[in-house]
Structure formats: structure tokens, C-alpha cells
Structure 1
């Protein structure tokens, strides 16, 4: 992923984590619900922007979700005194390793854009080219 893509992705992760922590805080003080809503809207707008920038959903969503889970668990333990056990820490590590494997397993090949198929072929499901009349 390009640097700009990573910057937007980090913004989406931060927005989602802030929203989730604000949701927890809102249980005691309802004023936090506004930050919860703003954070989730921001996170999803940034995710949509990432897709528009050409980022792959498998990579983006994996990194976003796993990072969100890890950061939320760590910060909830620190801010709210929630339990963080060794099995939870191990689970966070395993998820993060899985995300790294998914990210490094992607190729940079992009599917053909709709309407850009070569003469004599058509674009089928998921942007795959299929031969027509052959």
C-alpha cells in the first residue's frame, strides 16, 4: 500500500477505536454518544475513501478490524480497568500475525475496469475476463 493509503487507514483505525471507547464511556455519561456516532461515521467514510483510492478490501478491512480489536482491548484495560488476560494477548498477537500474512499474500494485480475488456472478450463476475464467441 502507498503511504497515503496507510495514512487514511490509520485515520480510520483511530476513528473506530475512539468511537468504540466513547461507546463504553457513554454507558456512564450519555454525552459520549455524539463522539461515538462521529467516530463510526468518520471510520466508514475513510474506509470508503480507501476503496476509492484503489486499496484492496481484504487488506484494508483486515488491518482495520484487527488493529481496532487490539487497540480497543489494550486501551479498555488501561482506561476502564477491563481485564486483559494472557490468552487475550495471545489472541491479539495471532490475529495480527494473520493480518500480516493476508497483507503480504496479496499481489498488486488489479482487476480490469468495467468496459476495458479486449475485443472479443467480456468482463465476467468479479472483473474476470471471459472469452465471447470462442
Structure 2
């Protein structure tokens, strides 16, 4: 259940962040609605995962790292943003750090 809540939080945060770009400064209604609802869902799901016992450091690290990587890829694939090799290395390091954090939690 913890990881399902975390996955839901991540998906909602990604949708909200991409919609933030599409809202054009909150001047477009539906992307703006998705921003508000998406972040509300994201924080609610994340807080429930924490309440059920997920360590805050691990939860936040996974939530933010996956969100950063996914938004960068979506921006590159669908929004015409740049993703160069140096940025890919940075994203890889972020994800590697989260994996290391998770592995450390189990020992």
C-alpha cells in the first residue's frame, strides 16, 4: 500500500508540474485546474504514505527524483525542451543517489 500511495503521489505531481507549464501562468483554465488538483492529490497521497510508516527521507527522495526525471523526459519529448548528455548524467546521478538511499535503509 505504501508504494501504491507513493506511485500515485508521483503521478499526480508529474501531471501537475507539466500542467503548470501548459497553464501559461495560470491563464489557461484546464491546465490550471490540473495543477491545483494534481498537487492536492500528490501531497495527500505522500502524506498518507508517511502516516503509514514510510520514512520521510526515502519517500521524498523517491518522489522528487522520479518526478524530476519524468518531467525532464516529458519536457524533452513533448514540449520541445533540451535534454543533452550532461543533463542525462545528472538525472542518472539523482536516480542513483535515491537507489543508494533506499539500499541503505534496508541495512
How does the TM-score come out when normalised to structure 1?
0.75
Q: CA RMSD in A?
A: 1.4
Find out whether 1:30 has 2:28 as its counterpart.
yes
Find out whether 1:17 has 2:10 as its counterpart.
no
Q: Could you say which structure has the greater relative contact order, defined with CA pairs below 8 angstroms and 6 or more residues apart? A: 2
Where structure 1 has 5 or more consecutive residues not aligned to the other structure, the ranges are 109-134
Measured against aligned partners, the alpha-carbon deviations of 1:43-76 in whole angstroms (never above 9, x if no partner) come to 0001110011110001110000000000000001
**How far, CA to CA, are the matches of 2:49 and 2:70 in structure 1?**
20
**How far, CA to CA, are the matches of 2:21 and 2:59 in structure 1?**
25
> How far has the Cα of 1:79 moved from its partner?
1.4
SS of the counterpart of 1:82? coil
Q: How many residues are matched? A: 105
- The structure number with the bigger radius of gyration is 1
> How far has the Cα of 1:37 moved from its partner?
0.5
**How far, CA to CA, are the matches of 2:99 and 2:44 in structure 1?**
24
Match of 1:96 in 2: 95
Where structure 2 has 5 or more consecutive residues not aligned to the other structure, the ranges are none
Deviation >3 Å, runs of 4+: none
